[in-house]
Amino acid sequence: MPRQTIPTLLLLLVFLITCSSCNLNSIYNENVSLKDTKWDKDALVSFNVIISDSLANYDFYLNLRNTTDYRYSNLYLFLMTRFPNGNISRDTIEIVLADNKGRWLGKGWSNLKENNILLKKGLRFPLSGNYVFFMQQAMRVDTLEGIHDIGLQISKATNIN
């Protein structure tokens, strides 16, 4: 193996280890791409999550990628939760995507901005079992344009203070 290849491989290995260690506490991380960056008002995006430890604390995140062509500075959505016992809850959530001057808050250099929004820190699920989370856009338009994908991330809480 040539000598200059070894530092390159070592650098790549360090990068991969660093990236993978960021999600060591993650028990669920899934994103769903929306076709043609369009989200119809009747389209539900669903996530099935198995919670095995109802005594642990979790951090609950929403992942969102939008284009800079998105017309609004925020996003309203409905989050429905179906519990393992069949009960259902529904919340309305507002996600702020741009500041008062119209500057995007997400990360990204191109026309795609990525947001990882903490919705609940130190969440405790009341039951063990299969939870189904449904998301639906609630922006008072039939078809919302500019949302690339939406996702859910649940991590074991490292610090609940």
- Higher-pLDDT residue of 21, 3: 3
Q: Which amino acid is at 112?
A: L
C-alpha to C-alpha distance for 6 and 13, rounded to whole angstroms: 10
Which is more confidently placed, 149 or 10?
Answer: 149
pLDDT tens column, 49-88: 999 999 999 999 999 999 999 999 999 999 999 999 999 9
CA distance 127 to 51: 8
pLDDT, greater one: 8 or 85: 85
Q: Which domains does the chain have, with CATH numbers?
A: 25-156 (2.60.120.260)
- What is the band of 145 on the pLDDT scale with cuts at 50, 70, 90? very high
Taking only the tens place, the pLDDT of each residue in 11-57 is 554 444 444 445 568 999 999 999 999 999 999 999 999 999 999 99
Residue 118 has pLDDT above 60, yes or no: yes
SS3 67: strand
Query: Among candidates 156, 147, 134, which has minimal Cα distance to 60?
Result: 156
Whether the pLDDT of residue 90 is over 60: the answer is yes
Per the CB < 8 A criterion, the answer to whether 132 and 51 are in contact is no
Listed range (15-24, 122-131, 143-152) with the worst mean pLDDT: 15-24
Q: Give the tokens for residue 153.
A: 């991330």
Task: Give the whole-angstrom CA distance, residue 128 versus residue 52.
Answer: 5
Per the prediction, the chain carries an average pLDDT of 88
Q: What percent of the chain has pLDDT over 90?
A: 78
With bands split at pLDDT 50, 70 and 90, how would you rate the model's confidence at 1?
A: low
